Amino acid sequence: MHVLALVTQKGGTGKSSLAISLAVAALERGLKVYMIDLDPQATARNWFERREAAKPEVATVEANRLSAALIALQRKGFDLVILDTPGVDTPATTAAMQAADLCLIPARPSVADIEAAKPTIRSLNKLGKPFSFVLNQCPPNRSIRTMDAYRALQLMGGVSGVTLALRADHVDALAQGQGVTERDTQGKAAAEIRELLTWAVSRMEGKTYDDQKEARVA
């Protein structure tokens, strides 16, 4: 079983919507997936309450119960658990970092997001946990700002070559209890999420993936 955590101390980066859409895409891929919402705002859990489908299930768990919950999920044969965390430094965030096989740090292509990520990086380095940035909510075309942010994040510890654009499908899917791959199965947002999932799973499995390509958004 793999554990993927979405972590950042900067609000508004689309962390919860990414976690949700990755979970839905993993389910569509045939994985047995579960989401744990550690964020007091309960964005993922509220999304699940709006959702018509019964899967992927989302539960809220206290930080001190996370290890026990993961052990139970592993015994039940889950392939992937996705952790959504608070946008601040809390015991829940630390617990998620410790439990994760990979931490994704969503960041918009802005100086504020890049600077705000530094405390998260320090915590991850201190714990010795693997992590990668993922550029999110980028202008929906190739831009100098996106590529400059990509290069800056590479220097700070690595960034996924899969870049996600600012698209209405993410907002609409969240409101309707869907993932973007359900909202528009052939849309650009869906394709980006599927590619990010493939990248993350490959990384957790220790397989190679093309991380050297320049950030690109079409």
CATH number at residue 103: 3.40.50.300
In a domain, 97, yes or no: yes
In a domain, 212, yes or no: no
In a domain, 213, yes or no: no
User: Quick one: pLDDT band at residue 209, thresholds 50, 70, 90?
Assistant: low
pLDDT at 218 over 60: no
In a domain, 50, yes or no: yes
In a domain, 216, yes or no: no
pTM attached to this predicted model: 0.91
In a domain, 210, yes or no: no
In a domain, 102, yes or no: yes
Structural domain count, the chain: 1
pLDDT tens, residue by residue, 46-101: 999 999 999 999 999 999 999 999 999 999 999 999 999 987 778 999 999 999 99
pLDDT tens, residue by residue, 102-155: 999 999 998 888 888 888 899 999 999 999 999 999 988 777 888 888 888 888
In a domain, 193, yes or no: yes
Domain span at residue 26 reads: 2-204
The DSSP code sequence of the chain is: -EEEEE--SSTTS-HHHHHHHHHHHHHHTT--EEEEE--TT-HHHHHHHH-SS--SEEEE--GGGHHHHHHHHHHTT-SEEEEE--SS--HHHHHHHHH-SEEEEEE-SSHHHHHHTHHHHHHHHHHT--EEEEE-SB-SS--HHHHHHHHHHHHTT-B-S---B--HHHHHHHHTT--HHHH-TTSHHHHHHHHHHHHHHHHHTT------SPP---
